[in-house]
Structure 1
Amino acid sequence: MSDRPRILDDLAGVAGGAFSALAGVREEIGAIVRARVDETLGSLNLVRRDEFEVVREVASRARQAQATMESQIARLEERVSDLEASLTAPSSPPRSGL
C-alpha cells in the first residue's frame, strides 16, 4: 500500500511537467504566429494609426492655408482690377474756379 501514494506522486509530477511543457509550446507557437502576422502586415505597406493621424492633421492645415490664400488672392485681384479701372478711366477736365 505504500507504493500506491508514490505512484500518484510520480504521476502528479509527470502531469505537472507535461503542463509546463505545453505552456512553453503554447508560448512558442504564439510568438511564431505574432512574428508571421507582423511580417505579413509589414509586406502590405500599411500605416500605423498615429502616423495616419499626423498626416491627416497636416493635410487639414494645408487645406485651411489654401483657403486663406485663395481669399487673399481674390481680394488682391479685386484691388488690381479697381486700380486698372481707375487708370484707364477718362480723366475729367480740371474745373475752373468761376
Structure 2
Amino acid sequence: MQTENRLFDDLAKILNGAAGTIAGMGREAESAARERAREWIGGLDFVSRDEFEAVKAMAAAARDENDALKARVDALEAKLAGGTAPAA
C-alpha cells in the first residue's frame, strides 16, 4: 500500500512540474509575441497622441484664421464694388 501512495506522489510531482513548465513556456511565448508586435508597430509611421492633438489644434486655429480672412476679403470686395460691407 505504501508503494502505491509513493507512485501517486511521484506522478503528482511530475504532473505539477510539467504544468509549471507549460505555464512558463506560455508566458515566454506571450512575452516574445508582445515584443515582436512592439518592434513591428515601432517601425511604422504612427504619431503619438500628443503630436496628433497638437496638429489638430493647429488645424483648428488655421481654419478660424481662414474664416476671418475670408470675411475681410468679402468686406473689401463689397467696398470696392461700391456696395456696403456685410455685417461680420
Q: Calculate the TM-score normalised by the size of structure 1.
A: 0.65
Alignment match, 1:73: 73
Question: 1:35 maps to which residue?
Answer: 35
Moved over 6 A (4+): none
Measured in 2, the distance between the counterparts of 1:33 and 1:2 equals 47
CA distance in 2, matches of 1:51, 1:61: 17
Q: Aligned-pair distance for 1:33?
A: 0.7
Report the CA distance between 1:75 and its aligned residue.
1.5
Residue of structure 2 in register with 1:92 after alignment: none
Instruction: Note the aligned Cα RMSD (angstroms).
Output: 2.3
Unaligned runs of 5+ in 1: 86-98
Q: CA deviation at 1:77?
A: 4.3
2:21 counterpart of 1:15: no
Runs of 5+ consecutive residues of structure 2 not aligned to the other structure: 83-88
Q: 1:20 corresponds to which letter in structure 2?
A: G
1:56 aligns with 2:56: yes
Higher relative contact order at CA 8 Å, sep ≥6: structure 1 or structure 2? 2
Identity of aligned residues (%): 28
**Bigger radius of gyration:** 1
Q: Deviations over 1:46-85 (max 9, x none)?
A: 235x347513343233223211221123213434x26xx7
Letter aligned with residue 41 of structure 1: I
1:13 alignment partner, SS class: helix
Structure-2 separation of matches of 1:58 and 1:15: 62
